[in-house]
Chains A and B, each alone.
Chain A
Amino acid sequence: MSNPPRPRLAVWKFASCDGCQLSLLDCEEELLALAEKVEIGYFLEASRKTLPGPYDLSLVEGSITTPEDAERIQEVRRASRKLVTIGACATAGGIQALRNFARIGDFLSAVYASPEYIQTLDRSTPIAAHVPVDFELQGCPIHRFQLLEVISAFLSGRSPAIPHYSVCLECKRAGHPCVLVARGTPCLGPVTHAGCGAICPGYARGCYGCYGPMESPNPPSLSLRWRALGASERDLHRVFRTFNAAAAPFRRESEAHAD
């Protein structure tokens, strides 16, 4: 008797640090179990065996930064039944979206002796700017338990149970005293998407926003509070301009404060 066909999984990489697909390899205990549930069709970091599409679920890491990649994402979309972006690069353009606020020629000549050898776009854009996306998993890096939730949800045909509230709720649940209220430490937690488990306040520092904006945040209000704690305009400009710099609520808030 033969087993029913397993859903085919693909993992794709664009401009990124590999940290989010590493979250999958970091599922040490769950990795072999997962490999029994799905057929890995394309996952170059893990296997040289590649199977043809269509893929039931494609996980996409990284942002679009080259003309070639802008073409390749179209092929990935065509070959995928469901497409989920994993991480801040694929979902918001990533840290490399800092180029969106500068002249790309200045960046090229700062890093490369022969910029003419480099093919690159002047902007780093999220996957959703190019193709329809079925779900976006935020985080720099994503959390492996959230990734497993997203994979199991898509494999069983339901919506992933990923909360859209702020880091503050996770902080309360973890029992951390509020670093902003109790210690006067500037913290982005109130406007930042939950998912990390409120690590930074647990390590006595403010959240630096690596999960990007929560649903309906109010960054201007948080900036007022930061200013009362002594943050300069420049600090506010920079703090919203990191790993999710191009996500609209963070972009607008950074632009509201002069460099």
Chain B
Amino acid sequence: MPTKKLSLEALARVEGEGSLELFLHDGKVETARLRIFEPPRFFEAFLRGRAAAEVPDIVARICGICPVAYQMSAVHALEHGLGVVVDGPLRLLRRLLYCGEWIESHVLHIVLLHAPDFLGYPDAIAISRDHRAEVERALALKRAGNEIVRVLGGREIHPINVRVGGFYRLPSPAELSALRARLERAREEAVALLRWVATFPMPEYQRDYEFIALRHPSEYPMNEGEIASSRGLSLAPEEFDTAFEERHLPHSTALYCSLRERGSYLVGPLARYNLNFDRLPPSIQAHAREAGLGPTCHNPFQSILVRSVEVLFACEEALRLLSLYEPPEAPALPLPRGAGEGHAATEAPRGLLYHRYRFDAEGTIEQARIVPPTSQNQASIEEDLRLLAESLLALPEESLRARCEQAIRNYDPCISCSTHFLRLRIHGR
């Protein structure tokens, strides 16, 4: 019997453009290919020759959905190269800014991109006709995340207030007290969102992934930590290349990142949760349990629940950070001059984001390397699709396509970042 192909044309409700091809042979799925055909944009090439101070503004443009993640990994890597440690209230403000991005990006994904799959609607607008209050409340919660980013970052998309060494301007006491009041409401909205998502029908599916996420001595990870794995790996960010390798495959403009000699792994909310459940405050753990989650979770479809837990965590954490904040003396630390090389990994909403920069004594970038979460998950997505599609081949094509799309959206893939949207092609049916 010849090899046949099945294709999913045009993947909707992801950020960027991609398509899925399934190659069938003798009733089995031989290969699943997530083709990313987002046009390459060459950020690593044109960062060369730029001033280090320009990097946070430029890398923000890699992704309109998670610009803060790019800015955070970049400033941490550059500061690492300069031997500068941003601590105290400035560190706290960065974590607060990251909480804002987690909230707005996660809620965007949960409600506008992913919920329609679980509830059987084409989009969130259609959901809102039957569940108006839930959608409105979630959009209000998303707005609260955006408010944090706007206050600390200057604007929601491509923030302007992040710089190497700190910020351009500190938030005023009035801005912070307005945020605190807004976040008190957001916490209630987040509890309601989590309870609503917990009622969604969950497909049964489990896989034994190798999870990779940051691990911090005392915090649920955002900006700092060791790169840890569920199978015992523990590395400093500067050791990234010793454990990971990137390969270029013909069907995708995104590079594939894998663990040397071990293959695919998974980054993102599921990985963070599984490796860091003990770092969540007891109140958040209790909410997770009430929603039906244990300390570990191996069902990628439940990532929508884990994201909702992280939204609630980010609201609580933002309130905690606000209660601890004392204004620092200056909005940024003075920076030494000199050549250097720096590495950093932070937790973007969709997972580990690694940056490395080498710069000369003038602070001009000589080399930049950026490994986004989607390219790290690409191999895992394809394996999920191969295994999942095989068990669903008896379904009508439209149902198969819907379930494959849902499985891809478990990852919240940000295809713009990897260099977005799905076409299913089934070859062989």
Chain A residues proximal to chain B, CB less than 8 Å: 13-23, 25-26, 28-29, 31-32, 35, 40, 44-50, 65-66, 68-69, 94-96, 98-99, 102, 106-108, 110-114, 117-118, 120, 140-141, 196, 199-200, 202-205, 208, 210, 235, 238, 242-243, 259
Are the C-beta atoms of B140 and A208 separated by less than 8 Å?
no
In the complex, chain B residues whose CB is within 8 Å of the CB of A238: 50-51, 54
In the assembly, what is the distance between CA of A159 and CA of B32, in Å? 48
- 18 residue pairs of the A-B complex, CB under 8 angstroms, read A19-B61, A19-B157, A25-B112, A28-B146, A29-B143, A31-B139, A46-B123, A49-B122, A99-B45, A111-B40, A112-B255, A114-B248, A117-B248, A200-B154, A203-B161, A203-B169, A238-B51, A243-B61
Which residue, of B39, B122, B136, B253, has the highest number of chain A Cβ atoms within 10 A? B39
B250 interface residue per 8 A CB criterion: yes
- With known contacts A19-B158, A118-B40, A140–B46 Cβ distance under 8 A: no
In the complex, chain B residues whose CB is within 8 Å of the CB of A114: 248, 250
Binds A, one of B7-15, B190-198, B234-242, B286-294: B7-15
Q: CB within 8 A of B16: which of A18, A28, A111, A202?
A: A18
In the complex, chain A residues whose CB is within 8 Å of the CB of B72: none
In the complex, chain A residues whose CB is within 8 Å of the CB of B63: 17-19
B79 interface residue per 8 A CB criterion: no
Are the C-beta atoms of B168 and A203 separated by less than 8 Å?
yes
In the assembly, what is the distance between CA of A21 and CA of B12, in Å? 14
B81 interface residue per 8 A CB criterion: no
In the complex, chain A residues whose CB is within 8 Å of the CB of B339: none
- With known contacts A32-B125, A44-B13, A45-B420, A95–B41 Cβ distance under 8 A: yes
In the assembly, what is the distance between CA of A20 and CA of B15, in Å? 12
Given contacts A22-B157, A107-B42, A210-B158, 5 further A-B contacts (CB under 8 A): A22-B64, A26-B146, A29-B139, A117-B253, A242-B54
In the assembly, what is the distance between CA of A18 and CA of B331, in Å? 30
Closest to A34 in B: B125
Closest to A235 in B: B51
Q: How many A-B residue pairs have CB under 8 A?
A: 190
Chain B residues proximal to chain A, CB less than 8 Å: 10-17, 37-46, 48-51, 54, 57-58, 61-65, 67, 108, 112-113, 116, 122-126, 128, 132, 135-136, 139-140, 142-143, 146, 154-158, 160-161, 168-169, 246-250, 253, 255, 331, 405, 416, 420-421
Are the C-beta atoms of B39 and A117 separated by less than 8 Å?
no
In the assembly, what is the distance between CA of A200 and CA of B56, in Å? 14
Are the C-beta atoms of B160 and A69 separated by less than 8 Å?
no
Closest to A15 in B: B39
In the assembly, what is the distance between CA of A154 and CA of B11, in Å? 29
Are the C-beta atoms of A17 and B45 separated by less than 8 Å?
no
In the assembly, what is the distance between CA of A143 and CA of B60, in Å? 16
In the complex, chain A residues whose CB is within 8 Å of the CB of B416: 16-18
In the complex, chain B residues whose CB is within 8 Å of the CB of A21: 64
In the complex, chain B residues whose CB is within 8 Å of the CB of A199: 154-155, 160
Q: How far is the CB of A205 from chain B (nearest CB, A)?
A: 4
Are the C-beta atoms of A26 and B13 separated by less than 8 Å?
no
In the complex, chain B residues whose CB is within 8 Å of the CB of A50: 10, 12
Are the C-beta atoms of B49 and A259 separated by less than 8 Å?
yes
In the complex, chain A residues whose CB is within 8 Å of the CB of B123: 40, 46-49
Q: CB within 8 A of A141: which of B41, B62, B139, B158?
A: B158
- Mostly, the B contact residues are loop
Closest to B57 in A: A208
Are the C-beta atoms of B160 and A46 separated by less than 8 Å?
no
In the complex, chain A residues whose CB is within 8 Å of the CB of B51: 235, 238
Are the C-beta atoms of A99 and B158 separated by less than 8 Å?
no
Report, nearest first, the 10 A-B pairs whose CB atoms are least far apart.
A19-B64, A47-B123, A48-B12, A49-B122, A107-B45, A15-B39, A110-B45, A28-B139, A141-B157, A98-B46
In the complex, chain B residues whose CB is within 8 Å of the CB of A46: 13, 112, 123-125
Q: How far is the CB of A53 from chain B (nearest CB, A)?
A: 15
Are the C-beta atoms of A13 and B39 separated by less than 8 Å?
no
Are the C-beta atoms of B50 and A18 separated by less than 8 Å?
no
Are the C-beta atoms of A196 and B140 separated by less than 8 Å?
no
- With known contacts A117-B248, A203-B160, A243-B61, A14–B139 Cβ distance under 8 A: no
In the assembly, what is the distance between CA of A200 and CA of B420, in Å? 31
Closest to A114 in B: B248
In the assembly, what is the distance between CA of A147 and CA of B360, in Å? 41
In the assembly, what is the distance between CA of A20 and CA of B10, in Å? 20
Closest to A17 in B: B64
Q: How far is the CB of A17 from chain B (nearest CB, A)?
A: 4
Which residue, of A23, A106, A200, has the highest number of chain B Cβ atoms within 10 A? A200
In the assembly, what is the distance between CA of A22 and CA of B140, in Å? 16
In the complex, chain B residues whose CB is within 8 Å of the CB of A99: 42, 45-46
- With known contacts A17-B62, A22-B65, A106–B13 Cβ distance under 8 A: no
Q: CB within 8 A of B156: which of A26, A102, A204?
A: A26
In the complex, chain A residues whose CB is within 8 Å of the CB of B122: 47-49
In the assembly, what is the distance between CA of A255 and CA of B128, in Å? 51
Are the C-beta atoms of B40 and A44 separated by less than 8 Å?
no
In the complex, chain B residues whose CB is within 8 Å of the CB of A47: 12-13, 116, 122-123, 125-126
In the complex, chain B residues whose CB is within 8 Å of the CB of A22: 64-65, 108, 157
Are the C-beta atoms of A45 and B13 separated by less than 8 Å?
yes
In the complex, chain B residues whose CB is within 8 Å of the CB of A112: 40, 248, 255
In the complex, chain A residues whose CB is within 8 Å of the CB of B49: 259
Closest to A21 in B: B64
Q: How far is the CB of A45 from chain B (nearest CB, A)?
A: 7
- With known contacts A13-B17, A45-B13, A141-B158, A117–B44 Cβ distance under 8 A: no
Closest to B16 in A: A18
Are the C-beta atoms of B168 and A48 separated by less than 8 Å?
no
Closest to A199 in B: B154
Which residue, of B62, B64, B108, B132, has the highest number of chain A Cβ atoms within 10 A? B64
Q: How far is the CB of A170 from chain B (nearest CB, A)?
A: 13
In the complex, chain A residues whose CB is within 8 Å of the CB of B10: 44, 50
Q: How far is the CB of B398 from chain A (nearest CB, A)?
A: 11
Are the C-beta atoms of B160 and A32 separated by less than 8 Å?
no
In the complex, chain B residues whose CB is within 8 Å of the CB of A23: 157
In the complex, chain B residues whose CB is within 8 Å of the CB of A205: 160-161, 168-169
